[in-house]
C-alpha cells in the first residue's frame, strides 16, 4: 500500500488513487467508532466482512438500475470504485424507531414508524453531523433541488429493495445511512450512490428475536460484534473463499483474527 497515493482516510475506510483516471481503491479497515468518534475500538475482521457485504448489496442494486460508484472487488479488503464528488449530506432512512430519533422525540425503540422517514444530516464530524432540513440544503447550495429529488427517490427505492432482501435472510431492516456523490460527463453531472452499505451503517435485527446484528453491539457494549457481522454475511450467502463458491466458510485467519464461530445466541 506504500506505493499508492492516499487520497483520504476516514473512520472506517481509506481511499487510494486508482489504477485509471476517475477511479479509486477503497480499503475497508477494522476500526470501529461511535458517537461521532467519541468511542473508538476495533472489530476484528470487520473490514473483510463489510467489503463482501457492500459488494453484494451494490451489485444487486445495480441490477435494479440504481447507479453506484462500485466497479468490482479487488481482494479481501479492497474495492475499485468510481471517483465521485461526495455531496456533504448523510441520508438516514428509517423504518422503525431506534437510535437518535428515540432520544429526540421520546419514541420507544422498536416502534414501527407510520411510514418510511428520510432524515438529512450535514456531513461534518467536527460539528457532530447535525440534523438539517431540505431548506438548509437549498440555502447553502449543498445540492440542487433536482439532485435532492433524485436522492430521495433513490433512497426510497433502495429501502424497498433492501427490506425485501434482508427479510429473505430473516433480518429486519430498522434503519440505514446512505451517501451520494456526483460524477461528471463534461458539463453534465448525475448523482450516484457511494460509500458502502454494511452492518456498520445499518441497524439489522433478527426477525424472530430482535437480536441486534450490527454496530449497535459495539455502541452499547453488548459484545459479540465479530459474530454478529459474520452472521449477517452468512445469511446473505456472501461468506466464501476467494476461490470458492457462495456459502462456503471464509478463512480469514491470514487477514484478521475473526475465527469461525456460531451465530449469536438468541435471547
Domain for residue 118, yes or no? yes
80-115 pLDDT per residue, tens: 999 999 999 999 999 999 999 999 999 999 999 999
Q: Which 3 state secondary structure label does DSSP give 205?
A: strand
Taking the model in full, what pTM does it have? 0.88
99 part of a folded domain = yes
Q: What is the pLDDT along the chain (267 residues), one digit of tens a residue?
A: 457 899 999 999 999 999 999 999 999 999 998 887 778 999 999 999 999 999 999 999 999 999 999 999 999 999 999 999 999 999 999 999 999 999 999 999 999 999 999 999 999 989 999 999 999 999 999 999 999 999 999 999 999 999 999 999 999 999 999 999 999 988 899 999 999 999 999 999 999 999 999 999 999 999 999 999 999 999 999 976 543 333 334 544 434 433 333 334 443
Q: Looking at residue 143, which CATH number applies to its domain?
A: 3.30.470.20
In a domain, 232, yes or no: no
Please list the alpha-helical segments (H only) found in the chain.
Answer: 46-63, 100-105, 134-140, 145-167, 216-219, 225-236
| CA distance linking residue 119 with residue 231, whole number of Å | 28
Quick one: pLDDT at residue 240? Answer: 62
> What are residue 205's phi and psi, to 5 degrees?
-120, 140
| Count of structural domains, the chain | 1
pLDDT for 249 equals 40
Strand 70-73 and strand 39-42: the pairing is: unpaired
User: In this structure, are strands 70-73 and 78-82 parallel, antiparallel, or unpaired?
Assistant: antiparallel
By the 10 Å C-beta count (0-12 exposed, 13-18 middle, 19+ buried), 116 is classed as middle
Q: How many whole angstroms separate alpha carbon 24 and alpha carbon 15?
A: 6
Q: Which residues of 60-69 are buried (b: 16+ CB within 10 A; e: fewer)?
A: ebeeeebbbb
| Residue 27 lies inside a defined structural domain of this protein | no
Q: What is the pLDDT of residue 239?
A: 79
- The Cα-based distances of 154 to 60, 89, 122, 208, 266 in angstroms read 14, 14, 19, 29, 34
User: For residues 12 and 53, what is the distance between their CA atoms, to the nearest angstrom?
Assistant: 14
Q: Provide the domain limits for residue 100.
A: 85-206
- Whether residue 192 is contained in a domain is answered as yes
Cβ 161 vs Cβ 57: under 8 Å: no
Q: How far apart are CA 168 and CA 97, in angstroms?
A: 21
Task: Note whether residue 155 is domain-resident.
Answer: yes
The answer to whether position 89 is within a domain reads: yes
Residue 142 host element (H or E): none
Q: Looking at the domain assignment, is residue 126 inside a domain?
A: yes
Amino acid at each position: 500500500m506504500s506505493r499508492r497515493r492516499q487520497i483520504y482516510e476516514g473512520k472506517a475506510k481509506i481511499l487510494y488513487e486508482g489504477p485509471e483516471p476517475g477511479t479509486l481503491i477503497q480499503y475497508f479497515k477494522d476500526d470501529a467508532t461511535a458517537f461521532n468518534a467519541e468511542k473508538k475500538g476495533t472489530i476484528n475482521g470487520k473490514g473483510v466482512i463489510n467489503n463482501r457485504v457492500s459488494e453484494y448489496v451494490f451489485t444487486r442494486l445495480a441490477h435494479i438500475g440504481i447507479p453506484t460508484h462500485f466497479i468490482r472487488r479487488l481482494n479481501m479488503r479492497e474495492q475499485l470504485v468510481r471517483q465521485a464528488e461526495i455531496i456533504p449530506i448523510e441520508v438516514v432512512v428509517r423504518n422503525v424507531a431506534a437510535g437518535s430519533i428515540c432520544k429526540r422525540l421520546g419514541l420507544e425503540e422498536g416502534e414501527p414508524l407510520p411510514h418510511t422517514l428520510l432524515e438529512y444530516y450535514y456531513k461534518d464530524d467536527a460539528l457532530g453531523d447535525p440534523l438539517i432540513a431540505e431548506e438548509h440544503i437549498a440555502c447553502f447550495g449543498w445540492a440542487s433541488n433536482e439532485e435532492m429529488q433524485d436522492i430521495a427517490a433513490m433512497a426510497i427505492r433502495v429501502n424497498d429493495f433492501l427490506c425485501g432482501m434482508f427479510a429473505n435472510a430473516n433480518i429486519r431492516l430498522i434503519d440505514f445511512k446512505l451517501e451520494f456523490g456526483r460524477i461528471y460527463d463534461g458539463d453534465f453531472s448525475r448523482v450516484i450512490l457511494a460509500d458502502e452499505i454494511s452492518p456498520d451503517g445499518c441497524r439489522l435485527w433478527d426477525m424472530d428475536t430482535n437480536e441486534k446484528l450490527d454496530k449497535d453491539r459495539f455502541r452499547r457494549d453488548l459484545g459479540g460484534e465479530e459474530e454478529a457481522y459474520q452472521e449477517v454475511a452468512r445469511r446473505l450467502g456472501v461468506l466464501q473463499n476467494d476461490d470458492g463458491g457462495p456459502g462456503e466458510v471464509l478463512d480469514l485467519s491470514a487477514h484478521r483474527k475473526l475465527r469461525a464461530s456460531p451465530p449469536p445466541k438468541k435471547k
